[in-house]
Amino acid sequence: MIEIRALSRLYAGRTAVDRVSMDVERGEIAVVVGTSGSGKTTLLRMINRLVEPSAGTVRIDGRDHRDLPAHALRRGIGYAIQGHGLFPHRTVAENIATVPGLLGWERSRIDARVDGLLAQFGLDPAEFRDRMPRELSGGQQQRVGVARALAAEPAILLMDEPFGALDPVLRAKAQADLLAIQASTGTTIVLVTHDMDEAIRLGSRIAVMDAGRLVQYARPAEIVARPAAPFVEALLGPGERAFRLLALARVEEETEPGTAPGTPVAAEATLREALAESLWSGREALPVSRGGSLIGRITRAALARRAAGPR
């Protein structure tokens, strides 16, 4: 869906993005992760030409993104940023209706879309439609920002640290919302974050940036199991790698025949959750259940084996 080839951007002779090539497939969530100043925002903004590339190409659905005028291109691509970027003097409904309005949608279609999105994000339309952004909590503003980006049903959604201003609880909720919305709409998403945990939770593929270069682009399990450079390993955090490996796998993968005492763990739970339960309750083995029936057990030895590395 998005083909990025040798894309570069210079600022006053300094390279902010250096010959980045990557493909984002339809319906995928590609997460761009890296430290501050590594070129993530510049890369993202070159896709919708908020920043013009110095060199290289971007193709969307096989077409060079310079074939359309920049403003027309941007109407077809949702864009959400940290701190929501809502227009402060427009109501929630007017904010969400921005792009549909520019596209000349019928009033009734816009109203239905606004109410539908508010409901989808857990905001009662009757209560929230006519509020001003300052009358919303941070989490509500952030949801309206994402709703606005999705309003015209874009095939592509670009998100720059969209959850960066939220506390951990709201952040987890917002991440779950995004995954649910993506699953129901099939929107292709490119999301920028400096948080590797967020990248692992959301990404179907993760692009790791360092000093303007793309140093690794792979599935989360691959990034965790085989970090391509010491830099990527550092980003994963020392000591946390084993936990991340366990967070990527399900209990059913290590379930063996047999029984064990105590409360069962669900087959769909992650190995990380099983390890936490095993350590917390002091049990060497836990029974495993699926849909209410016991299907076997998982041992701490199996968990330790998985934490040590890929099989």
Task: Out of 25, 37, 72, 219, name the contact with ligand ADP by CB under 6 A.
Answer: 37
| Count of chain residues binding ligand ADP (CB under 6 A) | 10
For residue 296, state whether it binds ligand ADP (rule: CB under 6 A): no
Out of Mg ion, ligand ADP, none, which partner does residue 34 contact, by CB within 5 to 8 A per kind? ligand ADP
Angle ∠(119,125,127) on CA atoms, nearest 5: 130
For residue 188, state whether it binds ligand ADP (rule: CB under 6 A): no
What does the alpha-carbon distance between residue 144 and residue 86 come to, in Å, rounded to a whole number?
8
Angle ∠(239,241,247) on CA atoms, nearest 5: 125
For residue 8, state whether it binds ligand ADP (rule: CB under 6 A): no
For residue 255, state whether it binds ligand ADP (rule: CB under 6 A): no
What does the alpha-carbon distance between residue 298 and residue 259 come to, in Å, rounded to a whole number?
9
For residue 16, state whether it binds ligand ADP (rule: CB under 6 A): yes
Nearer to Mg ion, 41 or 140 (CB): 41
For residue 8, state whether it binds Mg ion (rule: CB under 5 A): no
What does the alpha-carbon distance between residue 32 and residue 43 come to, in Å, rounded to a whole number?
9
What residues from 32 to 71 belong to the interface with Mg ion (CB under 5 A)? 41
Q: Binding string to Mg ion for residues 83 to 122, with x set by CB under 5 A, is what? A: ----------------------------------------
Out of Mg ion, ligand ADP, none, which partner does residue 145 contact, by CB within 5 to 8 A per kind? none
**Rounded (10°) CA dihedral 60, 61, 62, 63:** -50
Q: Going by C-beta distance under 8 Å and a sequence separation of 6 or more, which residues neighbour residue 279? A: 300
From the number of C-beta atoms within 10 Å of its C-beta (0-12, 13-18, 19+), residue 202 rates as buried
Of 13, 1, 2, which is closest to residue 57 (Cα–Cα)?
Answer: 2
**Least gap, CB of 37 to ligand ADP (angstroms):** 4
Task: Out of 31, 39, 118, 166, name the contact with ligand ADP by CB under 6 A.
Answer: 39
How do 63-64 and 55-60 pair as beta strands? Answer: antiparallel
Q: Is the dihedral of CA 39, 216, 242, 160 positive or negative?
A: positive
Stretch that binds ligand ADP, among 33-41, 64-72, 131-139, 176-184 (CB under 6 A): 33-41
State the DSSP H helix or E strand holding residue 235, giving kind and residue range, or none if neither: helix 230-236
| Count of chain residues binding Mg ion (CB under 5 A) | 1
Q: Binding string to ligand ADP for residues 40 to 79, with x set by CB under 6 A, is what? A: xxx-------------------------------------
Where does this chain bind ligand ADP (CB under 6 A)?
A: 11, 16, 34, 36-42
Where does this chain bind Mg ion (CB under 5 A)?
A: 41
